[in-house]
Amino acid sequence: MAALGLAVPALLWLCLGLGSGRAMAAVPLVIWHGMGDSCCNPLSMGYVRDLVQRRIPGIYVLSLRIGSSLVQDVENSFFMNVNDQVREVCSQLAKDPHLKGGYNAMGFSQGGQFLRAVAQRCPSPPMFTLISIGGQHQGVYGFPRCPGESSQICDWIRKMLDLGAYTQAVQEHLVQAQYWHDPLKEEDYRKKSIFLADINQERGINETYKKNLMALKKFVMVKFLNDTMVDPPISEDRLGLQQMDKAGKLVFLGVEGDHLHFTEEWFYTHILPFLQ
């Protein structure tokens, strides 16, 4: 009896200890929003953050804000040099004490390829799993429509892309030009794309990029089967992905629906398991 009396509290203590240990061990999540969006819109990234936190209580979720206000964050998703954005994010991540032990990352639309650049360029703190939701890893050629109320900005962007996506001025100031991939101008793309051609190794192989990307535990790519916003919706790349595929690290998911349209149920069934 006495032994049992001791054993029960000890067991209880152990369970509580394990329980809180597990909560503490929830791998933090870093989110990067898409074009025209911000870190904290309750209908987009705020909603995703809630979805995750509801099922993984206590998880630290960092939704990236680029700039010092929400307005700047939205503007920067159109007009800030992506290489500078990635650099800023790398420094944000390195300074965040919650992320010291590593983190998972989830990028929406262009945020998908931007976080891949973070994985390739900034191995510390380590990114474990990268989930790209509707990203454009091989770029876009076409700009069918824009989210929300940004259609005037979009008309202007379309004009700039037509005028000269690969001119230096447009490259440096227009985010979408930095992942513009014109199949009729492969040579220009290869030489002048300051972001996508670099992270996709179009100007030669940077072994560091390859090594860093291959250090991911999983790279999950979600494609929207009825995407009317991303053109073309099929992306591929040539960055050690074959080896990752052989090692079972690549996951391709297709989801019915238009760009970034998914249900709560789909998210919980297909995405949440990668975060637990």
Least separation in angstroms between residue 120's CB and ligand NAG is 7
Find the shortest distance in angstroms from Cβ 226 to ligand NAG: 4
Using CB under 6 A as the binding rule, whether residue 226 contacts ligand NAG is answered as yes
Neighbour count for residue 75 (Cβ, 10 Å): 16
User: Can 227 be counted among the known catalytic residues?
Assistant: yes
Q: Which two tokens stand for residue 79?
A: 């007009």
Among 33, 49, 65, 121, binds ligand NAG (CB under 6 A): 121
Q: Minimal distance in Å, beta carbon 223 to ligand NAG?
A: 10
Beta carbon nearer to ligand NAG, 5 or 204: 204
How near is the Cβ of 123 to ligand NAG at its closest, in Å?
8
Active site residue 181: no
Q: Report which of 56, 78, 31, 40 is spatially closest to residue 176, judged by C-alpha positions.
A: 78
Cβ atoms within 10 Å of 271's Cβ, excluding its own: 20
**Per-residue interface string for the shown chain with ligand NAG, residues 183-222, x marking contact by CB under 6 A:** -----------------------x-xx-------------
Nearer Cβ to ligand NAG (156/252): 252
- Quote helix, strand, coil % in the chain, to nearest 5: 50, 15, 35
Examine residue 124 and tell whether it contacts ligand NAG (CB under 6 A).
no
Beta partners for 133?
A: 108, 222
Which of 13, 256, 263, 269 contacts ligand NAG by CB under 6 A? 256
**Contact characters 145-184, ligand NAG, x per CB under 6 A:** ----------------------------------------
The C-alpha atoms of residue 207 and residue 212 are separated, in whole angstroms, by 8
**37: nearest Cα among 195, 150, 127:** 150
Q: How far is the CB of 44 from ligand NAG (least distance, A)?
A: 22
Assigned token pair, 225: 């089967």
Check 109, 132, 193, 235 and give the catalytic one.
Answer: 109
Task: Report the residue from 6, 16, 169, 225 that binds ligand NAG according to the rule CB under 6 A.
Answer: 225
Maximal C-alpha separation, the chain:
85
Torsions phi, psi for 241 (to 5 deg): -70, -30
222 sits in which H/E element: strand 218-224
Catalytic one of 33, 137, 181, 259: 259
Least Cα distance to 92 among 75, 68, 70 occurs for 68
Where is 201: in which H helix or E strand? Answer: none
Q: Is 68 labeled as catalytic in the residue annotation?
A: no
Q: 63 or 193: whose CB is closer to ligand NAG?
A: 193
Could you say whether residue 83 binds ligand NAG (CB under 6 A)?
A: no
* Cα separation, 239 vs 194, whole angstroms: 17
Q: Give the sign of the dihedral formed by CA 86, CA 92, CA 98, CA 100.
A: positive
Nearest approach in angstroms of CB 260 to ligand NAG is 15
Give me the residues that bind ligand NAG (CB under 6 A), please. 121, 206, 208-209, 225-226, 256
Active site residues: 109, 227, 259
